[in-house]
């Protein structure tokens, strides 16, 4: 069988994929469509891996090459393209979902809008199962006006916190809540409120503090910043209030005690270094190893097998790190409180998660990139010749074509006159003239190099890369123009699903919150069975 020839069972129907998703064997269900296509409707357990970045992300997401893989596209030939690329990287067990996303819907299965759907569904199920205490925006406003003591923590990363937050909140990403809470509040009577932009991280953050045994009254802010704005209250933008980075020995000891008690209370499995090493060598199971601490702690030193996945975001966007259902997952944390909470929620999502014993003797940690768990040859992407902006006019005079691979919105705001917006899965529709030189513009040279692989298959031979540098473009006399295109329908990299909910659009906010609240009601029996809420019950 040549690389271009699919195996006999390459194409499978949606019912077969559904059956595989419930079977004990590991499976990766990859949605190859671009961000906008995926966000407008995808199967519940499909993991986003857009074809435009396939080779750049696949080894991280699929470290075991002989895992069963199902590819989903728009029945537009992208699955076949991806299969060729994946076979060249040593992935042999490839299948295509017949009919693409439309075939999935045609079989009677739901296509879910939005992103991180399993994680957001978890939040709604947790609130339902645990009766998470909450405050409304109006209740919070009244509490603030009364002068009552309150510790208000925003459970999102600092970058999101800066964009907008409820006035008075302090940034403390969810994974850090239990680790740093002793440095943030010393009175067990002071209420603690956790918020985010919507619902999920508010709920999960509040329940994390409750699960860790914090004696304070703990609440989630109902509907987060969107609920605050919908109540007619003003948000704060550009805030920099964050958690204290340095902890005292007593505060670290308190974090360790909370982690140890949570591990005991919820029966979370713990492994030692020897087991971790054996799993890394096991060829029969996919293995992920994540350090769930903050970026500053990870940079200071980490386990050589562990890649960085801050625990709050690992739970919030699990499909950005875990692509294989049934994989082994180990979490690393020096005190255990962050790993305990990430493990609790990931296990509730049906994942097989353990914790590297925080009390075991550490091997020598490193500041280098993790050794990696992918077993295969390194990615080889042929480099492209780099074109200087001052040389472009001469090449254009010789008939060159410019393809601009930046985000569609960046292209609209300004591109070199004559450049055509391009995206990798639709290069065949552009039908570039193989006889003319091509100049590819992209923020990442690897992104351009991957597109060049497809262009070469289309017969293009003379391909160069030009970096994004508008100052150099201007200095070379290249005219930059705005455009109304590509149209929203063509801009498949852009998710339009309530895209302006953070830009003051109240209708979009209400639609988004209704979407979150409605997720549980869309689940079929198989999708509901993914979650194991019994793991949230203390032993």
pLDDT for the residue 8? 64
**R_g of the chain computed on alpha carbons:** 25
pLDDT for the residue 290? 97
Q: How far is 387 from 390, CA to CA, in rounded Å? A: 8
DSSP H/E element including 96: strand 94-97
pLDDT digits (tens, 9 = 90+) for 168-204: 999 999 999 999 999 999 999 999 999 999 999 999 9
Q: Are 174 and 315 in contact (CB under 8 A)?
A: yes
- Using alpha carbons, select from 464, 484, 500, 475 the residue that is nearest to residue 421: 484
- The tokens 């006035």 sit on which residue? 167
pLDDT for the residue 502? 79
Q: How far is 213 from 206, CA to CA, in rounded Å? A: 11
Neighbours of 478 (CB within 10 A): 20
- Using alpha carbons, select from 163, 32, 29 the residue that is nearest to residue 501: 163
pLDDT for the residue 488? 93
pLDDT for the residue 129? 97
pLDDT for the residue 355? 98
Q: Residue 257 — φ and ψ, nearest 5°?
A: -65, -40
Contacts with 197 (C-beta within 8 Å, 6 or more apart), sequence order: 156, 160, 164, 224, 225, 226, 502
- Using alpha carbons, select from 46, 50, 52 the residue that is nearest to residue 37: 50
pLDDT, averaged in runs of 10, over the chain (539 residues): 52 98 97 97 98 96 96 98 96 98 98 97 98 98 95 97 97 97 97 98 98 97 97 97 94 97 98 94 96 95 94 97 98 97 98 95 82 74 91 95 97 96 96 94 94 96 95 95 95 88 89 96 98 95
pLDDT digits (tens, 9 = 90+) for 318-365: 999 999 999 999 999 999 999 999 999 999 999 999 999 998 877 788
Strand partners, 219: 193
User: Which tokens hold the place of 417?
Assistant: 């006159």
The helix/strand count (H/E) of the chain reads as 23, 22
- Spell 138-170 as b/e; 16+ CB within 10 A means b: eebbebeeeeeebbbbbbbbbebbbebbbeebb
Q: How far is 63 from 285, CA to CA, in rounded Å? A: 10
pLDDT for the residue 7? 58
- The tokens 């209740």 sit on which residue? 139
């Amino acid at each position: 069988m040549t690389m271009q020839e699919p195996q006999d069972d390459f194409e499978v129907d949606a019912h077969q994929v559904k059956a595989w998703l419930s079977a004990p064997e590991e499976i990766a269900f990859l949605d190859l469509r671009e961000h906008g296509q995926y966000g407008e409707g995808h199967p519940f357990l499909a993991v986003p891996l857009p074809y435009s970045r396939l080779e750049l992300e696949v080894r991280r997401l699929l470290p075991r090459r002989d895992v069963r893989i199902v590819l989903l596209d728009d029945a537009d030939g992208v699955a076949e393209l991806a299969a060729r690329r994946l076979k060249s990287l040593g992935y042999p067990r490839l299948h295509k979902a017949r009919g693409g996303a439309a075939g999935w819907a045609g079989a009677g299965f739901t296509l879910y809008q939005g992103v991180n759907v399993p994680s957001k569904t978890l939040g709604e199920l947790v609130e339902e199962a645990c009766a998470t205490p909450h405050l409304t925006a109006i209740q919070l406003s009244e509490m603030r006006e009364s002068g009552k003591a309150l510790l208000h923590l925003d459970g999102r990363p600092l970058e999101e916190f800066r964009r907008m937050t409820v006035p008075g909140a302090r940034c403390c990403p969810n994974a850090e809540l239990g680790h740093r809470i002793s440095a943030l509040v010393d009175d067990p009577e002071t209420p603690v409120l956790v918020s985010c932009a919507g619902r999920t991280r508010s709920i999960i953050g509040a329940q994390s503090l409750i699960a860790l045994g914090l004696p304070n009254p703990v609440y989630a802010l109902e509907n987060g910043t969107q609920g605050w704005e919908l109540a007619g209250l003003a948000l704060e933008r550009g805030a920099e209030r964050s958690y204290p980075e340095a902890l005292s020995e007593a505060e670290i000891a308190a974090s360790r005690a909370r982690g140890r008690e949570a591990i005991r209370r919820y029966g979370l499995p713990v492994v030692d270094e020897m087991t971790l090493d054996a799993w890394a060598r096991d060829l029969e199971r996919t293995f992920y190893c994540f350090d769930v601490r903050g970026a500053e702690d990870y940079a200071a030193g980490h386990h050589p097998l562990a890649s960085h996945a801050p625990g709050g975001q690992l739970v919030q966007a699990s499909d950005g790190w875990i692509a294989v259902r049934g994989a082994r997952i180990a979490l690393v944390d020096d005190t255990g409180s962050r790993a305990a909470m990430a493990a609790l929620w990931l296990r509730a999502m049906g994942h097989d998660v353990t914790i590297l014993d925080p009390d075991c003797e550490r091997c020598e940690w490193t500041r280098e990139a993790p050794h990696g768990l992918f077993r295969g040859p390194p990615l080889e992407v042929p480099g492209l010749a780099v074109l200087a902006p001052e040389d472009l006019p001469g090449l254009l005079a010789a008939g060159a074509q410019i393809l601009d691979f930046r985000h569609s919105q960046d292209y609209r705001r300004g591109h070199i006159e004559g450049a055509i917006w391009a995206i990798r899965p639709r290069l065949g529709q552009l039908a570039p003239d193989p006889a003319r030189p091509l100049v590819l513009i992209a923020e990442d040279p690897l992104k351009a190099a991957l597109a060049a692989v497809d262009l070469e298959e289309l017969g293009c031979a003379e391909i160069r890369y030009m970096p994004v540098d508008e100052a150099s473009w201007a200095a070379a006399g290249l005219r930059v123009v705005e455009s109304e295109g590509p149209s929203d329908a063509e801009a498949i990299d852009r998710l339009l699903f309530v895209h302006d909910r953070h830009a003051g659009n109240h209708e979009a906010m209400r639609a988004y919150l209704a979407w979150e609240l409605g997720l549980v009601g869309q689940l079929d029996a198989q999708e509901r069975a993914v979650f194991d809420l019994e793991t949230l019950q203390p032993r």
